[in-house]
Structure 1
Amino acid sequence: MSIWEALAVFAAGIGAGTINTIVGSGTLITFPVLLTTGLPPVTATVSNALGLIPGSVSGAIGYRAELKGQRGLVLRLGVASAIGGLAGAVLLLMLPETAFETIVPVLVALALVLVIFQPRLSAAVQRRRERNGTSVGSHGGPVLFGSLLLASVYGGYFTAAQGIIYLSLMGMLLDDTLQRLNAVKNVLAAIVNTIAALFFLFVADFDWSAVLLIAVGSALGGQVGAKVGRRLPPFALRVFIVAVGSVAIVQLLLR
């Protein structure tokens, strides 16, 4: 890796750490850059997953104020994230690279629709629960657990737009602010990345120089993203999510 390639990977790590903390899809910055350095797709994916762990942890720490009172939710959904992340990591090494490419844009598009209409949909769901006298509790019930498990399988496989899918699901099924849900999203992403990375350490090839450059860059970006993201009002954050997600769909379709 040349000095210019190293600088590009480091800068991509900063960008990915920042975007991941605010909304997600940082992999769409780092992955193409790693490919341009000559790394094979699977090696690039594995190196990226390892490198983004510090960024996920850094972002979660930056959102620690919004995590207060959410320990039970994080522990419950963290189990789904861990199981799904491991399953996705296994699938990465078993399935051809193109296996998920056809459905990923569809998943991201659906997640964006849910994010856009989430306030109205959540209100409608809440009115229906009140009429029926039902409640899913503070943890979102089995529907959220199962949905996040499936989303984490995808996260362990590729991670791009994983955060957007998390936010759309939690926004639909939990009665909380977008910023507090974003804080939970950062923790869940950190769990998926860590579980997948631990698996990759023993069974997959990766590039240590790329891992270290992305790790340092994403850790810095995580702090930047937390400072910026926590100051965004709900509407601005929702607009930012939709903008990033739209770019993600275009990039995925053009791959």
Structure 2
Amino acid sequence: MIWWHAVLIALAGVWAGMINTVVGSGTLVTFPVLVAFGYPPVTATTSNAIGLVPGTITGAIGYRKELRGQFRRLLTFVPASALGAVGGTVLLLSLPPDAFETVVPVLVGLAVVLVIIQPRVSTWVLRRRETKAERNGADEPAKQGTVLLLTLIFLVGIYGGYFTAAQGVMLMAFMGMLLNEPIQRLNGIKNVLAAVVNVVAGTIYAFVAPISWPVVALLAGGSILGGWLGALVGRRLSPTVLRGVIVVVGIAAIVQLVLRQV
């Protein structure tokens, strides 16, 4: 590996670690760098998934204050993300390497739209819950919302295990609509679930997929620093600014993915 390649990969890891903690989509920084340096798409995807694991864990730890009181909720959400990640890794190893390029821009675009309309949709969902609670009992709407959210988390886990970019955007969009929580607390949950997906997918890839371990080491070192910095920055952003950052990163992700197909 050329020395300046190593430097750029490590710097990409720092930036990706920051983006993943604040929003998600850090893969859209590291994946193009690895492909540009000649790594095959599958090797780039799998090495990236493993290399960014330490950064996602660092980011989740950085949000530990926002995670207080959410342990029982995480016990429910984490298995859905883990099972989804297993399904996503199976898809990546089974389908053609470029198969995701058609569907991913659509999924990211949907997530961006959901983030934009999330405040109004959340208000509408809350009103419907209150109406149903008065009509049918308090527990029924909550259970229905939990089942829907678990299903969506599972589907995002599949996507994340297949191609990790923008899974954070999707998680924030869905949780924002179905959970009555401040956006920073949702960001804490998002970081934990993203870390779970990356750990599960990375563990599987380490045994059955082509991996560049020097790339993994460089990304891991960079992402640890980036995850810590991202937690410092992200926790200080207002809900409006954080939502704006999510939208900007999501749109940038769509543009980048579309340009790859041109």
Task: Normalising by structure 2, report the TM-score.
Answer: 0.95
1:153 to 152, 155, 158: 158
Q: Deviations over 1:107-143 (max 9, x none)?
A: 1111111111111110011111212225543994110
How many pairs are equivalent?
255
How has the CA–CA distance of structure 1 residues 75 and 8 changed in structure 2, closer, same or farther, with 3 Å as cutoff? Answer: same
Contact 1:28/1:248 (<8 A) preserved: yes
Contact 1:31/1:45 (<8 A) preserved: yes
1:14-93 aligned within 5 A: 14-93=14-93
How has the CA–CA distance of structure 1 residues 139 and 175 changed in structure 2, closer, same or farther, with 3 Å as cutoff? Answer: farther
**What is the identity, as a one-letter code, of the residue corresponding to 1:166?**
L
In 1, distance between residues paired with 2:144 and 2:232? Answer: 27
Contact 2:80/2:154 (<8 A) preserved: yes
Q: Specify every segment of 5 or more residues in structure 2 that has no aligned partner in the other structure, as ranges.
A: none
- 1:142 equivalent to 2:147? Answer yes
SS at match of 1:97: coil
Tell me the CA shift for residue 62 of structure 1. 0.5
2:180 to 152, 162, 175: 175
How has the CA–CA distance of structure 1 residues 13 and 74 changed in structure 2, closer, same or farther, with 3 Å as cutoff? Answer: same
Contact 2:132/2:141 (<8 A) preserved: no
1:101 counterpart residue number: 101
1:129 counterpart residue number: 129
**What is the identity, as a one-letter code, of the residue corresponding to 2:147?**
P
1:206 to 211, 214, 224: 211
SS at match of 2:181: coil
Deviation beyond 6 Å, 4+ runs, structure 1: none
1:186 counterpart residue number: 191
Q: Specify every segment of 5 or more residues in structure 1 that has no aligned partner in the other structure, as ranges.
A: none
Q: Deviations over 1:70-110 (max 9, x none)?
A: 01111111000000001101111100123222121111111
In 2, distance between residues paired with 1:74 and 1:10? Answer: 31
Task: Normalising by structure 1, report the TM-score.
Answer: 0.97
Give the superposed CA RMSD: 1.3
Larger mean CA deviation between 95-104 and 230-239 belongs to 95-104
In 1, distance between residues paired with 2:60 and 2:142? Answer: 24
In 1, distance between residues paired with 2:169 and 2:131? Answer: 30
1:242 counterpart residue number: 247
SS at match of 1:231: coil
In 2, distance between residues paired with 1:138 and 1:243? Answer: 33
